[in-house]
Amino acid sequence: MKRPQFVRARRGVTLIVVLVLLSVMLLGGLAFARMSEIGMLASGNAAFREASLQASQVGVNSAYAAVRALPSEATARGDWYWPTIQAADADGVPTVDWNKAPEVTVGSYQVRYVVERMCTVADVTDTLRQCLIKQTPVPASSRVGTEALDPPNSRQFRITVRVQGPKDTETWVQSLVTKGS
């Protein structure tokens, strides 16, 4: 008995359909592999960023300890402290020579910091007008008829920290700290 002619033609169509399905599955597998790779890169970048933020805290703490140890706030100290606000770029980062700033190594991260006193003049004669200050309220007397005492003035300093790490990670952190009178 002879087979009908259309049965032989279907054999070739089945082969083509299988090849097309295999090609679609191959492309889907490649796309999934690429998405997994991108996800791993993104999570790695997030981990580097988080580690650099943690390293920046070492810079903030080191800078604050150095500010507390300053014998005179009116005198610049090398290339890390200025008694007045410095010029800044569009992002608010002081335009200073960062290669001369003190460096602290935290693991594979290099942390550098600079400090500016939030004043417009080096020799301050009127802190309320020449400096950005923080006023701390002092508890007033409980006696009737007595005036409340003026709050003491505290000086504020802006600490800017630059952290550089692996894979060209660069993080900038600014913090305002207060030193009491």
**Amino acid 115: pLDDT:** 94
pLDDT at 18 over 80: yes
pTM check: above 0.85? no
Mean pLDDT of the chain: 80
Report the alpha-carbon distance of residue 98 to residue 117 in Å, rounded.
18
**Amino acid 101: pLDDT:** 93
Closest alpha carbon to 84 in 134, 181, 135, 158: 158
Q: Phi and psi of 53, rounded to 5°?
A: -65, -40
Report the alpha-carbon distance of residue 158 to residue 23 in Å, rounded.
60
Provide the residue type at 90 as one letter. A
- Does residue 123 or residue 4 have the better pLDDT? 123
- Copy the structure tokens of residue 124: 């301050």
pLDDT digits (tens, 9 = 90+) for 133-174: 655 555 555 666 555 544 456 778 899 999 998 888 889 999
pLDDT digits (tens, 9 = 90+) for 76-119: 887 899 988 888 899 889 999 999 999 999 989 999 999 998 88
In this structure, the number of other CB atoms found within 10 A of the CB of residue 86 comes to 13
Instruction: Give residue for tokens 């005492």.
Output: 149
Report the alpha-carbon distance of residue 105 to residue 128 in Å, rounded.
38
Identify whether the C-beta of residue 75 lies closer than 8 Å to the C-beta of residue 123.
no
Cα angle: 36, vertex 38, 44; to 5 degrees: 105
Identify whether the C-beta of residue 155 lies closer than 8 Å to the C-beta of residue 131.
yes
Q: What percent of the chain has pLDDT over 70?
A: 78
In this structure, the number of other CB atoms found within 10 A of the CB of residue 161 comes to 27
In this structure, the number of other CB atoms found within 10 A of the CB of residue 111 comes to 26
**Amino acid 56: pLDDT:** 92
Report the alpha-carbon distance of residue 12 to residue 20 in Å, rounded.
13
**Amino acid 109: pLDDT:** 93
Query: How far out from the chain centre does Cα 144 lie?
Result: 50
**Amino acid 175: pLDDT:** 92
In this structure, the number of other CB atoms found within 10 A of the CB of residue 121 comes to 13
